[in-house]
């Protein structure tokens, strides 16, 4: 994984109680969500990058107010397969 250095405004640093680990996590999540929204990575890839389950990533999107109804055909097929496993 590649590392970068970011300048964080003091207000954000203070709002996270000067916890750089928390800020780094938020920045990473935000960037990965941004890449998903822009169609550069899939839900599965996003979840893997954040070390979350597929469902946990969907829940993360929902908690951030991001619609998950624009699934690709592959993602929709996976959701249907998951539901079928639950029903059967």
pLDDT in tens, 22-77: 888 999 999 999 998 888 999 999 999 999 999 999 999 988 888 776 667 787 78
Closest CA to 29 of 5, 64, 1: 64
pTM as predicted: 0.70
> Is residue 3 one of the residues assigned to a domain?
no
Confirm whether 5 is domain-assigned: no
User: Which pLDDT does position 88 carry in this prediction?
Assistant: 67
Under a CB-based contact definition with an 8 Å cutoff, are residues 72 and 42 in contact?
yes
Tokens 């998903």 correspond to 36
Q: What is the C-alpha to C-alpha distance for residues 4 and 67, in angstroms, rounded to an integer?
A: 29
The chain-wide mean pLDDT, for the chain, equals 86
- Residue span of the structural domain in which 53 resides: 10-87
Q: Do the domain assignments include residue 2?
A: no
Please check whether residue 1 lies inside any domain of the structure: no
Q: Determine the pLDDT at residue 53.
A: 94
Domains: count for the chain: 1
Q: Is residue 55 part of a domain?
A: yes
> Would residue 16 count as lying in a domain?
yes
Q: Is residue 74 part of a domain?
A: yes
């Amino acid at each position: 994984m590649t590392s970068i250095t970011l300048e964080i405004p003091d207000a954000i640093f203070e709002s996270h109680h000067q916890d750089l680990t928390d800020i780094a996590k938020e920045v990473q999540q935000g960037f990965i969500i941004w890449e998903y929204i822009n169609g550069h990575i899939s839900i599965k890839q996003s979840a893997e990058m954040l070390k979350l389950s597929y469902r946990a990533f969907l829940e993360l999107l929902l908690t951030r107010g991001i619609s998950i109804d624009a699934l690709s055909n592959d993602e929709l097929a996976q959701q249907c397969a998951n539901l079928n496993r639950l029903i059967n």
